[in-house]
Structures are given as structure tokens and as C-alpha cells.
Chain A
Amino acid sequence: METETCVQTSALNLYYSDFQALRSVSLAIPRKHITALIGPSGCGKSSFLKVLNRMTDLIDHCRVEGQVLLADEDIYAAAVDPIMLRKRVGMVFQKPNPFPMSIYDNIAYGPRLHGQKGKHQLDEIVEKSLAAAALWEETKDRLKKSALSLSGGQQQRLSIARALAVEPELLLMDEPTSALDPISTGKIEELVFELKRSYTIIIVTHNMQQAVRISDMTGFFLLGELVEFANTNNMFTAPQDKRTEDYITGRFG
């Protein structure tokens, strides 16, 4: 199946001071697919996400080497504004992190930052984003209420809606369900599956069943190295690398 590439990294190295967190990672993320990144804690999969929206810029003594192409554009080129980049690459974090403001203002936060002031347009964006995150029905009568009054699962869907409101090309999700109960997790998984129609999604997960359930491609990281990157079915039924096999059969990690 031939698909377009959304993000491509080549020979990517990441250092925190002297510690090398990523070792020569090269992979191509297909557009409008879900790519899962798995691996034991500290293997570099979350660091890899941070490289893609340059959240690494915020970390002291953090250095990136190699190339990252988003739609054929080098995101570490001098001319690239990290702020504009983060508009194109949304991120959802491990713990739901709605801001202490109303549901409406949470969603409108990003569009407002980027200059959208029209009340009518904002109303539309808020409805569209909440609907896309399967949260509209539950919140349409309480948009002015604080986002912190929502349940954990709803808060995470709100975080997703908030990221969608700025219409990113790529959505990064860092263990988005690890703080949620099974029912909320199920809802998020369904949602992510729906979202791949319009978005490219990279999801870091500790839950291998989750990777199998929702992803098209899976990458296995170990000690900063991308050990294997393959079609999810192939990886979980016939892993090419012994280390991958050991990990997915639960022999370590």
C-alpha cells in the first residue's frame, strides 16, 4: 500500500547533556495513519515525540542532530519559527491538562492565539472541535463551565479537541490513556481511530493491546534505538528482531 509520508526523520540523535536519548533514528510516518510507538520506559519514544514539535527547545542542555522533515520541510532549519511549527504539530499529554478556564475558552485558546477573534468563527471552531473529539453532546449546554469540572476522560477528550482546534497536520499523543479508566480509554481509542480519516497520529503507548487495536504501523524503541518499524499486524505476529519478539511476548520491560 503506497502512502504519502507526513514526517520523516533521518539519522536523528538527541542528547540531554551527555546522555544520548535517541540513536540515529530514521523512520517515515505515513500520512493519515496511526503510528504507535512502543518500548520500555526510558527508551526514547516520548523524547522522539518532543523532537517532532520542538518541545525539546524548552529543555536546557538538550541537543538535536540529524534531520526532521515535516511535509518535506526541515523543521530545525533556521528560518522555521517553532511557534508556527507547534500550530502544525499538535500534542496531547499523558495527563489531561485543561487550563483553569471555561470549556469554551479552552478550545478557543489556540485559535485566539493565532489571531482568530470573530465570535461567530470561534463558536464554529469550538463546536467543530468538540464534535470531532466526541465531546459536543456532553458539553454543549455547559460551555461556560470550568473545564476542571469535567471527568478525567472528558478532560482528555477536551485536550484532544483543544489540539484539533488549531487544525494541526500531525497529532502527537504521549500515552494519552495511561491516566484513565478502561471505559474512558475505550472512548479515546475509538476517537483516535475516527480521527485518522483527517489526521496523522503518532501515539506513544505502554499498552501493547492498544497498539494492536488502533495502529496501522508500530515502531519499537529500545535504549534510544529504533529496533523495528513495521506494519502493526506484521510486527505483532512475525517480529523480525529477536529483541522485539522478547518485548512483545513480555520477556522484559
Chain B
Amino acid sequence: MSKIDAGAGSQAGAQAAAGAGAAGSQKGARATSRTSAKVIDRIATGVFYVVAAFFILLLASITAYILYKGALAASPELLSFVGDGVGIQLFNTVYLVFLSLLVTMPVGIMTGLFMAEYAGSGFFVAITRTCIEALSSLPSIIVGLFGFLVFIQMTHSKWSLWAGSLSLAIINVPLIARTTEDAMRSVPRSYYDGSIALGASRWQTVTHVLLKASIPRIITGMILAAGRGFGEAAVLLYTSGMSSDVNFHDWNPLSPTSPLNPLRSADTLSVRIWSLKTEGIAANSQQIADLAAAILILLVFVFSLGSRALGRRLQKRMLSGN
């Protein structure tokens, strides 16, 4: 608008035309960039789908293969709780993981709680945190041999469920400690202040409010820890042993062959698979291993779904009160 004396009408017209032109070319540019962005978006989405599909297919085919081989090997005798039946190992696996969690959860939660709320940020704490992290990344065979040395040789005892559980706890305590610490730290500060302002002590606040609010995440940690326990073999080879002498009619925990006796030796599903595949000499050892593998996969599957449902229910109860 340089010409002040130009007619108002023509000026407005020129302005409108210029405006439209500018808008038009701008729209064109935007349209091209939008089209190319759209194309890139489509390509990226496509690539992700292909990659995801590949891995899902891979996982599904491995699972299907294991389940198929297991189904072929299944027989009433192998599914039983006597002789070669893998029912024994199924029970051992669940019981060992249960015993291990009995140790892991309180120790891990207390450690995480201490790290999150009491430890502060000194030199000592930094060292402790590093140690905990190092502990969680130890190779499991090292932990297994350590467990053998400490829980079996040094106590002059034999392979036992208990020694296996404690060794497994060494691997899982750092995981639970870390999960608890993270969960407690992510609880809003306003909960802490609100509780303190009502006259709660620090301990009351930590246990009644912060820990409660952390439960869903701690359960997630527990699922991971249990999963590790189900699949673990190296830790247990030298600690809980490679054989089971067990009588499923005797439920007195003090009796040496009782399934519940924590001091008996016990092979879990994954230990059994390992021993059968490496040194099995019986004619049907391959079949037993196949069946044990299928049952192990089913066990992990059922457990994950179950505890996830439980976690969801707890969370829902906290958030909406149903």
C-alpha cells in the first residue's frame, strides 16, 4: 500500500487479489508438505507394522512349536505326580518361586523403601545403589555357584528348595528394591505433605500412604521376579538340585519326602528340561523334556495373565472404588 491517493476500491481489490494469491500459493506449499508428511507417515507406520508382525509371528511359531511337541508327548503317565511325571516338577517350580518370593518381597520392598525415603543422597547411598545394580546384573551361574558355596557347603547341608529359593532371591531382591524405589518416588509429593499435615509421622506416611499407592507397580515387579524364577535353571542347578524324591500322599512339611518340606532337593521344570536335554539317557527323555517345556510356557502364561488381572483390579479399586 504505497499509494495513498489510489482509489479505495481498486486498492481493496488489489489487496484482496494479492491476499488470495498469497493464500493460494501458501496453501499449495502446505499441501505438498502435508502430502509428503502423510506419505512418510504411512511408510513409517507400514515399517513398524511389518517389524511388529515379524516378531509376533516368530514368537507365535516358537510357542506353537513347543506346545505342539508337548501335546505329542503328553500321556497320562507323564502328566502325573509320580515316577517320570512332570507334575512333580510343576509343583516344585511353583513352590520354589513361592518360597523365593516369601523372602524376596519383604527384603526387596524394605530396601526400596529405605532407598526412596530414608537413605538421602550421600556417598554411602550412591555406593549401595551401584552395588544393588551390579547384583542384579550378575550372571546367574555365578549366583548359583555362590549359593552352592554359602547355602550348602558352608551350612553342611544338601541341595534343597530353601537353598534354591535364597539363591533366586539374590537375583530378584535388586529388581524388587528398584521397582519399589521407583514406585515410591513417583508418588505425588502432595500425598506426603497431606499426610504429614494431618499429624502423621514419617513412618506412618510411608507405610499407610506411599507404600499403598505403590502397590500396583510393586506387583508388576513381582510378576517379573516370578517370571525369572520360573525360567531360571543356572541358579538352581547347584542349589535346589537335579532330582526329587517326593511322595504326594505325605503333606507333613517335616517329613523328608513331603512335597512341602523346604529342605528336600527339588528339580524345577527348566532344570529338568536342561538335564534331560544334556544328559538324559532314558528312552523317553526327549518326550519328557518337550512336555515339560510346554507346561512351563503354559505356567508362565497363566501366571502373567492372573497377576496382571489382580494388579488391574487393585488399581481399579484404588482409583474408582469398584
Contact = CB atoms under 8 A, between A and B. Distances in A.
The answer to whether A and B come from one shared complex is: yes
Interface of A: 53, 55, 58, 83-87, 90-91, 93, 95, 97, 99-103, 109-110, 113-114, 142, 144-149, 159, 162-163, 166
> Most A CB atoms within 10 A — which of B190, B195, B197, B317?
B197
A90 B198 contact: yes
B235 to A, nearest CB: 36
B213 interface: yes
Nearest to A146: B321
Which 5 residue pairs spanning A and B have beta carbons closest together? A145-B321, A146-B321, A87-B199, A97-B190, A91-B197
Contacts of B200: 83, 109-110, 113
Nearest to A114: B199
B199 A148 contact: no
Given A86-B199, A113-B199, A166-B199, A99 B193 contact: no
Interface residues of B, number: 23
Nearest to B197: A91
A7 B319 CA distance: 38
Interface string B207-247: 01100110000000000000000000000000000000000
Contacts of A93: 190, 193-194, 197
A55 B320 contact: no
Given A146-B318, A159-B194, A110 B212 contact: no
19 contacts: A58-B196, A84-B199, A86-B198, A93-B194, A93-B197, A97-B193, A99-B191, A99-B209, A100-B191, A100-B212, A103-B321, A110-B200, A113-B199, A142-B321, A146-B319, A148-B319, A149-B319, A149-B321, A162-B198
A148 B320 contact: yes
Given A87-B199, A99-B213, A110-B198, 14 more contacts: A83-B201, A86-B197, A86-B198, A93-B190, A97-B190, A99-B194, A99-B212, A109-B200, A113-B198, A113-B208, A142-B321, A146-B317, A162-B194, A162-B198
Q: Which of B204, B320, B321 has its CB near the most chain A CB atoms (within 10 A)?
A: B321
Interface SS of B by simple majority: helix
Interface in B170-211: 188, 190-191, 193-201, 204, 208-209
Nearest to A88: B199
A84 B198 CA distance: 9
Contacts of A148: 318-320
Contacts of B194: 93, 97, 99, 159, 162
A85 B198 CA distance: 9
B199 A95 contact: no
A159 B194 CA distance: 9
Contacts of A166: 198-199
Contacts of A85: 199
A25 B321 CA distance: 45
Nearest to B315: A100
Given A97-B188, A101-B212, A109 B195 contact: yes
Contacts of A87: 198-199
